[in-house]
Structure 1
Amino acid sequence: MKNLLLKQVGRADFERLEPHLKTTAFAQHSVLFETDQKIKHVYFPIGAVVSLVVTLSTGEMVEAAMVGSDGVVGASAALDGRVAVCRGIVQLDGDIIVCDIDALKSAALQSPNLLSLLIRHEQAVYAQAQQSAACFATHMVEARLCRWLLRARDLSEGDTLNFTQEYLAEMLGVRRTSVTVVAHTLQAAGLIKYARGKIQILDADGLRESACECYGTVKLHYERLLNGRRD
């Protein structure tokens, strides 16, 4: 599985980056960077899925965005952001192409096309974070959980997801009991099967019917990005 964003990079730009790219395996829950930490590397997932989460003083975490093989993590730092505004944590284990931040910045400054691609990607991540904020404020837990599972499924390209109920509750910003009730409801409806920290999606179409509009909206943002559309 390849990173779809890197596929959009022109040949000359990729040749500049290639010597600085290294594929590394990351375990689940690995922390790529912490809030307010200086970012030294940029991450292009090719198997792993990464969550960008906001941490509160109480220790609670809420996910703002999810990035996988359709994107990059830390690109804003290469565009001179430098300091992380949230925590980057590996949600699902797998491979990530790691790039030195200065190498990406240098390549972007030499290429308007690469710079534009990175800016449009950061806009897509920002749009996803905005959508998440609206989703938390207005949509029911069941619809939000369905949306979240579908996004994770798309990025992992698999129907089996290794998530505990505690982790799902953290990412959705709800109590574990709320996730438990919804998970039982979805399992009873034949949409998922849950056991021992694993969720198997049995009926993706059924999940889409139960998910909120945010799933389709975020998906459209990334389709436009990867197709080079600006409309």
Structure 2
Amino acid sequence: MFTAPDPNQNHLLAALLDAEFDRLAPHLELIPMRLGDLLYDSGGKLQYVYFPTTSIVSLLYVLENGGSSEIAGVGNEGILGISLFMGGNTTPSRAVVQTGGFGYRLKSHILMEEFNRAGPVMRLLLRYTQALLTQMSQTAVCNRHHTLDQQLCRWLLLTLDRLPTNELTMTQELIAGMLGVRREGVTEAAGKLQNLGFIRYRRGHITVLDRAGLTDNVCECYGVVKKEFARLLSDVHQRQGTPPPAR
């Protein structure tokens, strides 16, 4: 069933008290976020911040030789552009849409006006930033110490947490770019998960058949990230009377 776009589909926007939301709402611009869209590039000035609703965006670090690796993903739980309110107008990462959908963008100066009130919005954004930094650090640990099979399970589960479906539109080339590995490695890892009956892979499409199986085979990193987001942001849905999404 089609659900009409609504800013409250983003958990941070849904957490705002009425007065705060009413100040920002007239400035929120609904935009399509298409697979592969570049929202901002390394070193570029942040003109907007973005609140994904039905899309997922990857934060990528791109090396001089063209290689890249995902350092974090942002979906309906978060915001893109934390560098703005952390003291800088640029970021070393690149933001690319990983899963197409919709989101809202807000001019940077509007957000900063609200942030500089030093009230609930500032505290909410700083808590989210702490959770995002946990995801970034855990991704670095995972990529260094855990098998590609475990990394793929982690990536799939974190992606599913942000979607209302078990269907992912994603090629193995794109997954390889996210994980910073060769495509052949992703092919082998995906093949193992498919043979175990956890997923079904068809060209450009992944269907998760057994989420419990992925959870049983994922490394500890998924649980660490999930627990930290829950610890820091567990109350954000209740503030407007919206229950947390089922997991």
- Percent of aligned positions with the same letter in both sequences? 38
Which of the residues 82, 99, 115 maps onto 1:108?
Answer: 115
Which of the residues 77, 82, 91 maps onto 2:89?
Answer: 82
Matched, 1:150 2:163: no
- Per the normalisation by structure 1, the TM-score is 0.96
Aligned to 1:130: 137
Counterparts in 2 of 1:190-205, with a 5 A limit?
A: 190-205=197-212
Asked if the contact 1:13–1:111 (Cα under 8 Å) also holds between the matched residues in 2, the reply is: no
Instruction: Give the RMSD, CA atoms, in angstroms.
Output: 1.3
| Shift of residue 111, structure 1, vs aligned partner | 4.2
Aligned to 1:93: 100
In 2, Cα distance between equivalents of 1:183 and 1:42: 34
Q: Which runs of 5+ in 2 are unaligned?
A: 1-5, 237-247
In 1, Cα distance between equivalents of 2:218 and 2:67: 24
Q: Which runs of 4+ in 1 moved over 3 A?
A: none
In 2, Cα distance between equivalents of 1:51 and 1:6: 20
**What is the one-letter code of the residue matched to 1:21?**
L
In 2, Cα distance between equivalents of 1:171 and 1:190: 23
SS of the residue 1:156 aligns to: coil
Aligned to 1:220: 227
SS of the residue 1:70 aligns to: coil
Q: Deviations over 1:115-166 (max 9, x none)?
A: 0111111111111110000001100000000010011111122111011111
Aligned length: 229
In 2, Cα distance between equivalents of 1:227 and 1:175: 37
Asked if the contact 1:52–1:63 (Cα under 8 Å) also holds between the matched residues in 2, the reply is: yes
Matched, 1:119 2:126: yes
In 1, Cα distance between equivalents of 2:145 and 2:122: 35
Asked if the contact 1:50–1:67 (Cα under 8 Å) also holds between the matched residues in 2, the reply is: yes
In 2, Cα distance between equivalents of 1:75 and 1:4: 16
Asked if the contact 1:53–1:86 (Cα under 8 Å) also holds between the matched residues in 2, the reply is: yes
Asked if the contact 1:50–1:90 (Cα under 8 Å) also holds between the matched residues in 2, the reply is: yes
Asked if the contact 2:127–2:233 (Cα under 8 Å) also holds between the matched residues in 1, the reply is: no
Which of the residues 154, 167, 177 maps onto 2:174?
Answer: 167
Matched, 1:4 2:4: no
Q: Deviations over 1:7-60 (max 9, x none)?
A: 111111111111110111111010000001001101011000010010001111
Q: Which runs of 5+ in 1 are unaligned?
A: none
